[in-house]
Structures are given as C-alpha cells and as structure tokens.
C-alpha cells in the first residue's frame, strides 16, 4: 500500500519525470475530495473557496499515483503534464482577479495521445514517435485550454488508433478499471479508463470506427460520435480522413454536454467543418431535458443485435434499458433494414486511407522521426499486436476505382438508413455498442457495431445500458440523422436521470486523506439457531479495498466455511470456499473479484460456517464503524 507519507514524499517528483520513472503524485495541500464529482460540483467548490484548481488537480494526480502507477496499475497514461499544477495556479489567480472563464475553468482534463499538444510530446502510442513534438495544440485542445481546462496528461491508445483494445508499443496495455483482467476498449481506452477511474473529470478521444463509443460502453461512460464535420480534426494524427472525428468522454451527460459546447464548431483549417455554419448552434447543455424521452419515437435496429449464444447476455441488458426508455414515455418499434449489413461490411476506408494519410501528416513536420508506415515497419517500431494490421494496411494499394466503389457503398448505406428512419418515422435507432462483453486482455474483441455511424456520418450517442452478472459495463447507442447531435444527448440525459446508471469502478475507490484507503477489519458474529448459546463464536476479517484481498480467521473448530450470494427467500450459491478439506485451516486469504468488493457494504454476501455444534450463517458486511489499519 502507498501510505500518506510515501505519497507526499514523492510529491514533487511525479510530474517532472518520464512516465516510466514516475511512482507517485502530488498530494493536495489540504484534503480535497474529488471522488466521482462532476464539473458543476467542483466549480461550486472553487467558487465558494472550498477548493482551488491546484488542489483539485493535485487530488487527481494523487489518484493517478495510487491507481494508475500502483494498485490495479491501469496504465492509462503515456505522459503526465509537468506544468499541470502551475497551470492550475495561474487559473486560480485569474479566478481571484477576473472570475472564471466558464464551467470548465480549473477542471482537470486528459487528452488522447494522438492529439497534438504544444507543451507535451505527441506519440500516437508508437515508439516510432517517441519524443515527437509538433509545437502546437490541436484545435480541440486549444479550445479546452481557452475554456480554462487543466490538461493533466496524455493518455494511451491503441497504437496509431488502429484497433479497439488499447495496446501500444509506447504505452503498453491499458486495463479496464471495472475488471483489470479486461480491456477498456479502444482506441481511446486510455482516456476512458482515466475518466472512469477518476483520474480526470473528462477527456478527449477520437472516433474513426467506434473509438469514442466502444470505450464509453466498456467503462460506464457517455460519449458522442458527432455528425461528421461537427468537430475539428486539425491536429489529430489521422487514421482515415474520411471517417475521423474528435470528441470527449465523460462520466455524466451534463459533463459531456459542457465539453461538447466547447469542442464542437467550425475550424477554418478543417474544411469538413464548413457545414457547421449552415445549422443553428447545438447548445448541448442548454438543450438538456429530463422529459426528452416522453413522446420520442425510436427504432430498435434488429440487424445489430447478435444471434450467437455469446451475444445473449448483451441483448438482454440492452433490451432491459430499452424497456426503461419506454417507461419514460418513448414509443419504440422494431426495425430491420434489409441489405444494410452487406453494404456496411465493405464500407470502411481505413485500410485504403491510413498509409497515405499518415505520410501526408508527418510530411508537415521536418522534425518527425519517421515519415511513413513502411519506415515504422522497417524499424520494428510497433507493438507485436499491431504487426498484421500494419503490414496489411501498408500493402494496400489505394487505387481510385476501388475508393470510388467504397464511396458508392457508403452513399447507398446512408440513403438506406435515412429512408428506413423516414419510413418508420423514428428519430433514432437503438442497438448495442458491442454485441459482446469486453474481452480479457490479449484476446480479440468481437461484436462491434461501429461502422454504421462511421459510414453514414450520422451522430451516435453511446451510453450505459447496464452491467453483466460479474460487473462488466455494457453500452448501447442511439443513432440519429445528421445534425441531431443535441437531441441525442438530451435523450441520453433523460435516460440517465431516470436510471442513474453510473456506478464507480470498484478497483479505484476514494482516497483517504490523499492516500489509498487502508485495510478494514471487522467481525461477524456466528450465533447458533438453537437457544443454547454455547456454540456462539466470532469470525474475523480484514479487507483491502484496493487489492480485494480478504483475510479471515474462523473458529478453530470450523469444519467447512464458504461465502454465498444472498438471494431473496432462499440460500444463495457458494461464491468462495474458505476451508479446503484436504488441508483444513481456520485462517487464510482469498481475493474478491472487483464486482464483489462493493457487495461487502450492502448485505448481498453472507457467511456460512459448519461446526460440530451445527451450521450458522450471518451477513458478511463491513460494520458501520469498522477498524481501519493493519492487524
């Protein structure tokens, strides 16, 4: 465990060193609780003097030290900003002298490392670009700085954004804070893991085919892939100029709306955004409406629900979320679009555009350490997991006729979707973001539905649908017609207000006085069912909320003992065996998986102990006033 003294001793070191050398982060001058707090809550605390931007930034850096560099070691970052606290200090002075710039003033934000930053390297997750500096901010980064956001650091991504499990030669494998054995999705998995784990309040991502939406789904977050052209791509390392778009991720729709109000809009240097001026401003935050689902007519896109056994769990979770929308007043109809799957299957331009787009981008910088994808391959400057992808895309020959055929398919798919929505008079199509749960690291992710929005250019709002039985987040999307972005965000807001689907990640709990929470000791009284109390005994436990380790001391005469899941009216099944009859011991240690750790607080688990005097059961729950600290 990292103690408060250890954390404070490493205060000045963390943000001055490369990430591989960082081991701790600045502790706040006073104890500031930032756990799961929204932008509005933090802004209110700064307004009335309960917190400063510096203290809020330092508290988030302390969480990074505790849980990204240690603890579950989520590995969300490639680099941290060595001037983050200085930037926060400057914003505090400005607040005192002139007042806040707006709702993002002093709010900690993270940036995916395919966005250019003038003061930090931009690597795209590849060692081929280690140390590469462009000397400028991407358009969206510039907009965030102008709004007063504090950039804490650059997050890991699937190398050069070329996949959806977030592994790279520069950043390694990022892990999901809800289950570190699983991936956070990608390619914006570092941003998603950071926001979900409370390392920042929001973050910048990008989406070429699902890279905003899949990480949102896998991390119980919200994210919008906007109408193509609604958000600038200037300063983002390209994957496919036809499909790329930038955008934020957040824990709540209100926070997302505040970020979208800053990041959407025309950019003179990005011709794709010219159409923004032909439409009224989105005004995302002002458009939020708790009653938005009432009277909304939505279509369930049956094409996009899986039919394999492995898809059933996600189908049930998403359809349950749809029932909630209906309960909030939405009219929902099933829609099947014949021929859509075939059109979408060959409508991606990533393979045809990546090699050329990357070379054209790097040609703008005389200091670029590499110039082409071929050079990256020749140097072996890529993660082994990307080898097949990079070789295939480098071998692609982007002939004009082949590109034209794909463009025709894209136009046909767009027309087909638009016609289906018009025919059924729906303002949005609902479907799972992924047909299957997030995979464990090193496994390929199946079941993506990302291409529908990427092909049509229509906006798609990703939002939480629920959790699997073992606590893994599942997401759904609502896709609407072009320029319906604000309406989709408002629909998600109405759903969020009704369901409150946000659930904190169990592996990154609140810090205690700036340090990781210490182990908690508690006891469970074992009282026999009979009136004779001679069989009464006590079981003792120590729970480490960060690692999930549960140490136990049972009565010495215990023959068998187990932890069960409580079920209404019946004895629930065994989750953990505590005594091995082949080598019986009354003391030991088990590790609770992440999803079971919060259950120690709500009475969902119970202890069963078999002794010569009989079997006794009791709720396994941390007491209201437990003892904290090691035995």
Q: In the predicted model, is pLDDT for residue 30 greater than 80?
A: no
Task: Answer yes or no: are the C-beta atoms of 79 and 61 closer than 8 Å.
Answer: no
**Residue 464 pLDDT exceeds 70:** yes
277-282: long-range contacts (C-beta < 8 A, 24 or more apart)?
279/483, 282/230, 282/485, 282/486
Read off the pLDDT of residues 507-559 as tens digits, 9 standing for 90 and up.
Answer: 999 999 999 999 999 999 998 765 555 678 999 999 999 999 999 999 999 99
H or E segment at 68? none
- Residue 542 makes CB contacts below 8 A (sequence gap 6+) with 519, 520, 521, 550, 551, 630, 631
Q: Where does CATH 3.90.1300.10 sit in the chain?
A: 7-499
Helix, strand or coil, per DSSP, at residue 87: helix
pLDDT digits (tens, 9 = 90+) for 565-594: 988 878 899 999 999 999 899 999 999 999
Q: Does domain 7-499 have CATH number 3.90.1300.10?
A: yes
pLDDT at position 226 = 98
Report pLDDT for 602.
86
Catalytic (active-site) positions:
112, 187, 211
Report the pLDDT value the prediction gives residue 533, as an integer from 0 to 100: 54
CA–CA separation, 284 and 264 (whole Å) = 10
Instruction: Write out the two tokens for 401.
Output: 């006729």
- For the entire predicted model, the pTM comes to 0.93
Average pLDDT across the chain, whole number: 93
What mean pLDDT is predicted for residues 596-619? 92
Beta partners for residue 565, in sequence order: 605
DSSP string for residues in 207-273: -SSSTTHHHHHHTT-EEEEPPTTSB--TTB--S-TTT--EEEEESSHHHHHHHHHHHBS--TT-GGG
Contacts of 87 (CB under 8 A, 6+ apart): 57, 81, 150, 151
How far apart are the C-alpha atoms of 498 and 199, rounded to whole Å? Answer: 27
> Residues 551, 541: contact at Cβ < 8 Å?
yes
């Amino acid at each position: 465990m990292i103690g408060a003294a250890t954390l404070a001793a490493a205060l000045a070191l963390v943000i001055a060193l490369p990430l591989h050398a960082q081991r701790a982060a600045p502790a706040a001058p006073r104890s500031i609780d930032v756990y799961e707090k929204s932008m509005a809550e933090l802004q209110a605390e700064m307004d009335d003097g309960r917190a400063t931007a510096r203290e809020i930034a330092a508290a988030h850096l302390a969480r990074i030290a505790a849980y990204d560099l240690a603890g579950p070691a989520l590995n969300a970052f490639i680099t941290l900003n060595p001037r983050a606290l200085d930037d926060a200090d400057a914003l505090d002075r400005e607040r005192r002298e002139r007042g806040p710039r707006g709702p993002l003033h002093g709010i900690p934000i993270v940036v995916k490392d395919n966005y250019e930053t003038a003061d930090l390297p931009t690597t795209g997750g590849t060692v081929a670009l280690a140390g590469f500096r462009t000397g400028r901010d991407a358009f969206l980064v510039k907009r965030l700085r102008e709004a007063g956001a504090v950039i804490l650091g650059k997050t890991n991504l699937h190398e050069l954004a070329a996949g959806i499990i977030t592994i790279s030669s520069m950043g390694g494998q990022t892990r999901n804070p809800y289950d570190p054995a699983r991936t956070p999705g990608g390619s914006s998995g570092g941003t998603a893991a950071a926001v979900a784990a409370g390392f920042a309040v929001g973050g910048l991502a990008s989406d070429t085919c699902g890279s905003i939406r899949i990480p949102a789904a896998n991390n119980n977050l919200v994210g919008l892939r906007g109408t193509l052209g609604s958000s600038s791509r200037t300063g983002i390392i390209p994957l496919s100029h036809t499909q790329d778009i930038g955008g934020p991720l957040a824990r709540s729709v209100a926070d997302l709306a505040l970020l979208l109000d800053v990041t959407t809009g025309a950019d003179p240097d990005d011709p794709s955004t010219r159409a923004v001026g032909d439409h009224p401003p989105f005004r995302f935050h002002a458009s939020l409406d708790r009653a938005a689902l009432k009277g909304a007519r939505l279509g369930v896109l049956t094409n996009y629900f899986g039919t394999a056994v492995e898809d059933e769990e996600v189908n049930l979770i998403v359809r349950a979320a749809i029932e909630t929308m209906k309960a909030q007043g939405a009219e929902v109809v099933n829609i099947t679009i014949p021929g859509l799957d075939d059109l979408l299957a060959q409508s991606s331009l990533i393979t045809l555009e990546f090699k050329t787009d990357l070379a054209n981008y790097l040609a703008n910088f005389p200091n670029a350490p590499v110039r082409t994808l071929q050079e990256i391959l020749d140097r072996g400057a890529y993660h082994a997991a990307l080898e097949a992808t990079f070789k295939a895309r480098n071998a692609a020959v982007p002939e004009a006729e082949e590109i034209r055929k794909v463009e025709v398919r894209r136009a046909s798919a767009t027309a087909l979707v638009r016609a289906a929505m018009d025919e059924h008079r729906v303002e949005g199509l609902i479907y799972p973001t992924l047909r299957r749960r997030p995979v464990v690291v090193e496994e390929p992710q199946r079941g993506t539905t990302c291409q529908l929005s990427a092909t049509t250019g229509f906006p798609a709002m990703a939002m939480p649908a629920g959790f699997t039985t073992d606590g893994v987040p599942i997401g759904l999307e609502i896709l609407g017609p072009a320029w319906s972005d604000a309406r989709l965000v408002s629909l998600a807001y109405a759903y969020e207000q009704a369901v409150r689907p946000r659930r904190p990640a169990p592996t990154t709990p609140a810090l205690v006085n700036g340090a990781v929470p210490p182990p908690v000791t508690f006891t469970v009284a074992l009282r026999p069912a009979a009136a004779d109390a001679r069989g009464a005994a006590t079981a003792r436990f120590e729970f480490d909320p960060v690692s999930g380790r549960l140490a136990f001391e049972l009565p010495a005469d215990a023959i068998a003992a187990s932890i069960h899941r409580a079920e209404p009216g019946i004895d629930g099944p065994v989750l953990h065996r505590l005594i091995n009859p082949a080598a019986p011991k009354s003391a030991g240690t088990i590790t609770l998986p992440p999803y079971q750790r919060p259950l120690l607080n709500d009475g969902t688990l119970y202890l069963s102990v078999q002794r010569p005097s009989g079997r006794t059961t009791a709720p396994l729950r941390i007491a209201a006033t437990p003892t904290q600290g090691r035995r």
